[in-house]
Amino acid sequence: GNSVTQMEGPVTLSEEAFLTINCTYTATGYPSLFWYVQYPGEGLQLLLKATKADDKGSNKGFEATYRKETTSFHLEKGSVQVSDSAVYFCALRDTGRRALTFGSGTRLQVQP
Amino acid sequence: GAGVSQTPSNKVTEKGKYVELRCDPISGHTALYWYRQSLGQGPEFLIYFQGTGAADDSGLPNDRFFAVRPEGSVSTLKIQRTERGDSAVYLCASSLTLDREDEQFFGPGTRLTVL
């Protein structure tokens, strides 16, 4: 079956620090990979996606590269801001399926 | 434009009662999804619709859960004989089509508490 594993949080960083949130996956087909973000009091929003191996998704200074050889899709940002404080979810959508499979989420807290 | 809306935003009920949760998708979106998010977990798939028909209901946990979308727009998730373990945030999402490239847009969720 499909599964997504994320590093446990919370991750606490100072402003302008480098961010990495690890995500690995198991899938039976050739999945598309996603990062969703949930800001306090708001609904889930798509942050970035990659649909095939070696693709890099990017948005708002965040990046993630689809690594088929290591089944990973780690989220990175070079310089975090207080406004990036949120819960981040890694997700996949496998070949032939339309539903998303999510990881358990990683809470990021950025301190000024 | 308007996003996905869900009502009520909060629902408190007693064990054994029946509840209905409503989802209004983005206008024109033919695909609609229901997920359930327990505290500290990621959303888990329940069911999705293409138009009026349930295309995949494999995530429904048991026969107490049922969902309809009679006119291909608004959907209602129905839970019979609620149990304390049903307490969670129920999320609805919609996408333009079922194409794998189409983004799923999520609503704010309904927080269900079963006492």
Comparing CB atoms, the residue among A46, A98, A105 nearest residue B56 is A98
Q: Supply the pLDDT for residue B92.
A: 97
Q: Supply the pLDDT for residue A67.
A: 96
**Interchain contact, A98 vs B101, CB within 8 Å:** no
Q: How far, in Å, CA of B14 to CA of B82, rounded?
A: 7
**CA end-to-end distance (rounded Å), chain A:** 41
Comparing CB atoms, the residue among B48, B103, B108 nearest residue A99 is B48
Q: What is the pLDDT of residues B40-49, one digit of tens each?
A: 899 999 999 9
Q: Which stretches of chain B sit within 8 Å of chain A by CB?
A: 3-4, 31, 33, 35, 40-45, 48, 55-56, 59, 91, 93, 98, 100-101, 103-109
- Report the residue of A36, A44, A47, A106 to disrupt the B interface, i.e. the one with the largest count of B CBs within 10 Å: A44
Average pLDDT, chain A: 94
**CA end-to-end distance (rounded Å), chain B:** 37
Q: Supply the pLDDT for residue A29.
A: 82
**Interchain contact, B91 vs A44, CB within 8 Å:** yes
Q: Supply the pLDDT for residue B1.
A: 56
Q: Supply the pLDDT for residue B99.
A: 77
Q: Supply the pLDDT for residue A28.
A: 85
Q: Supply the pLDDT for residue A101.
A: 95
Residue B91: name the closest of A30, A91, A48, A59 by CA: A91
The two tokens of residue B71 are 């006119």
